[in-house]
Amino acid sequence: MTVVTRFAPSPTGQLHVGNIRAALHNWLWARKSGGRFLLRLDDTDLERSRPEYEEGIRADLGWLGLNWDGEARQSERFALYEERFEALRASGHVYPAYETQQELELRRKVLLGRGLPPVYDRAALSLTAEQIAACEAEGRRPHWRFRLDHDSPIAWTDLIRGDQRFDPKLLSDPVIRRADGTWLYMLPSVIDDIDMGVTHILRGEDHVSNTAVQIQMFAALGAPLPAFAHEALLTGSEGKLSKRLGSLGVAHFRELGLEPMAVLSLLARLGSSLPVEPFADPQPLVESFDFAHFGRAPARFDEGELAGLNQKIVHLLPYAAVADRLPEGMDAVAWDVIRPNLETVAQAADWWRIVTGPVDASGPEAEDQDFLAAARERLAALPFDEGVWRSLTEALKAQTGRKGKALFLPLRRALTGLDHGPDMGQLLPLIGREEALRRLAAD
C-alpha cells in the first residue's frame, strides 16, 4: 500500500501555527513512508475563499520546504460531489429537512434546558407529503442531512488516542448541504479522501466527533476506511488555549527573521516524547517521526523556545546555506567568525558593519588615551597575521602592566564601538590594519 496523506486548508485566511503543525506531520509521515503528500484546497465556501489566500498557502508551504506531490481544489469537483450525493439519496442515506435555523435553535435550547443532549430529533423523517408541500408553498427549500445508522456502533483504533467508540444515537445527523445547494465540510471531504486514495488522515483532536460521523459516510459510499490520528491541540505558553496562536503564521516567523528549520524542528516534536532539538536538515525529523511518540496531553507552544532553537540552528548553518542572504563582501571566513554571535542570519549585516565601518565609538576615557596611543604604535609595527591580536595584547600587557578587563575592553571599544562581540582574535584580521589603526587614533 502506498501511503497517501493530505493537508486540506480552507483558503479563507492565512495559515497559523496549528495549521502548519498539521501540514508538517502529514508531510513527515508521507516522506517517512515513501508515500505521497497532497495539498487540497477546501474552497467550497466560495464567498469567503480568496485567490490571495490560496497563493499564501502555497507560498507558506514552499518557504517551509513542505513540497507536495499533487494538488486539487474542491471548487473544481462539484460534479463528483453531485454524483455521490445522488447515489446516497437513492440509497436513503441522506434526507431533506425543512426547519429554519431559528426553529432548530429553539429546539436545542429546550433540550439543553431539560438537561438533555441537543441531538436532532429527526423530525424531518416523519413529515407527510402534505407537510412537505406546505413547506414548499411557503418558499422553504430543504437542507440535507446524512442519516446515521443507529444500529452500527462507531469504533476505530486511533493511531494516537487508541480505541475510540461513539454511540450514533447520541450524535445529530449532520447537515451536509445547505438550502441554497452549497456544501458543508463533512461529505465533500470524505468523497475527496476516497477519490484521492488517502490512506492516513492526521488532524487535530477537535475533529474526533467529525471522524465518528465520517466513518459512516465512508461505509455508505462503500469505501475502505483510512487510518485516523488525532493529535492534541497546541496551547499558549501561559498554559491554556491562546488566541494568539491563531495569529502566528509564516509571515510572523519571517518578520522575526526565523529559519524555516527552527519552525519545523519545534513543531515536528511538540507534543511527543522525543526531545526538541535544533536541526538544520529535515531528514532526522522524517526518520524519527512516529505516531507512537505522541500523547494526549496538550502541546505547549512557546515563542521563546522557538527563538532559542533558531539561534542554535543559525550556529549550525554553513556558509553555502546563507551566502545569498549575507551582505556584500562577507565571505566564508567572516561568516565563521560572526556566526556564533547571531540570533538570526539577518543580524550578520549589523556585525559586518562593525568590520567595514564606520563604527560609532565614543571618545576613550581619559585614563585610556595613552594606552590606545601605545596600542596604535605597537600594532603598526607588528606583522598583521592571524595571531596579531594575541601579539598586540601580550606586548601591551608587558608594556603597561594592564590585564583582564582593563587590557581588553578599551581595545574592543575603540575597534568595534561595543563592549562585547565576536572573538577579537578572529575579528581584528577582518577589520584590517589600516582601518584598525584609524580607529585606534580616533579621539
Instruction: Collapse the DSSP code of 158 into the 3-class scheme (helix H, G, I; strand E, B; otherwise coil) and give the result.
Output: strand
CATH number of 243-314: 1.10.287.1060, 1.10.1160.10, 2.40.10.480, 3.40.50.920?
1.10.1160.10
**243 labeled part of a ligand binding site:** yes
Grid cell 564601538 in the structure block, residue: 417
Q: Which CATH architecture has domain 366-441?
A: Orthogonal Bundle (1.10)
Cα–Cα distance for residue pair 258/64, rounded to 1 Å? 11
Q: At CA 108, angle to CA 97 and CA 163, rounded to 5?
A: 90
Edge-to-edge, what's the strand order for the sheet holding 94-97? 94-97, 143-146, 175-177
pTM listed for this prediction: 0.90
In single-letter form, the type of residue at position 219 comes to A
How far out from the chain centre does Cα 265 lie? 10
The sign of the torsion formed by the CA atoms of 367, 373, 378, 383 equals: positive
- Find out whether 432 and 387 touch, Cβ atoms under 8 Å: no
At residue 207, the pLDDT reads 95
The pLDDT value given to residue 364: 83
82-109 burial by CB neighbour count: b if 16+ within 10 A, else e? eebbeebeeeebbbbbbbeeeebeebee
Q: Report phi then psi at 13, rounded to 5.
A: 180, -175
Residue with cell 605597537: 378
Cβ proximity of 360 and 417 under 8 Å: yes
Residue 204 bridge partners (DSSP): 231
- Res 143: pLDDT: 96
Residue pair 146/120 in contact (Cβ under 8 Å)? The answer is: no
Helix (H) or strand (E) holding 350: helix 348-356
Between the CA atoms of 327, 281, 16 and 344, what dihedral angle is there, to the nearest 10 degrees?
Answer: -30
The domain segmentation of the chain, as residue ranges, is 4-79+185-235, 90-177, 243-314, 319-356, 366-441
Chain-centre distance for alpha carbon 244: 14
Q: Which residues does 318 contact at the CB level (< 8 Å), separation at least 6? A: none
Cβ atoms of 200 and 3 closer than 8 Å: yes
CA 248 – CA 17 distance, rounded (Å): 6
The C-alpha atoms of residue 174 and residue 89 are separated, in whole angstroms, by 14
CB atoms within 10 A of CB 365: 12
Q: Are 69 and 37 in contact (CB under 8 A)?
A: yes
Query: Where in 24-148 does DSSP place strands (E)?
Result: 36-41, 70-73, 94-97, 143-146
Q: What is the CA radius of gyration of the chain?
A: 32
Residue with cell 480552507: 10
Look up the CATH architecture of domain 4-79+185-235. 3-Layer(aba) Sandwich (3.40)
Q: Is 435 exposed, middle or buried (0-12, 13-18, 19+ CB in 10 A)?
A: middle
Burial of 398 (0-12, 13-18, 19+ CB in 10 A): exposed
Q: Could you read off the pLDDT of 58-105 as tens digits, one per residue? A: 999 999 999 999 999 999 999 999 999 999 999 999 999 999 889 899
Question: What local confidence, expressed as pLDDT, does residue 79 receive?
Answer: 97
The x, y and z cell numbers of residue 179, run together, are: 438550502
* Topology (CATH level 3) of domain 90-177: Glutamyl-tRNA Synthetase; domain 3 (3.90.800)
Per-residue pLDDT of the chain (443 residues; tens, 9 = 90+): 899 999 999 999 999 999 999 999 999 999 999 999 999 999 998 888 999 999 999 999 999 999 999 999 999 999 999 999 999 999 999 999 999 889 899 999 999 999 988 999 999 999 999 999 999 999 999 999 999 999 999 999 999 999 999 999 999 999 999 999 999 999 999 999 999 999 999 999 999 999 999 999 999 999 999 999 999 999 987 655 566 787 889 999 999 999 999 999 999 999 999 999 999 999 999 999 999 999 999 889 999 999 999 999 999 999 999 999 999 999 999 999 999 999 999 999 999 999 998 887 677 888 999 999 999 999 999 999 999 999 999 999 999 999 999 999 999 999 999 999 999 999 999 999 999 999 998 76
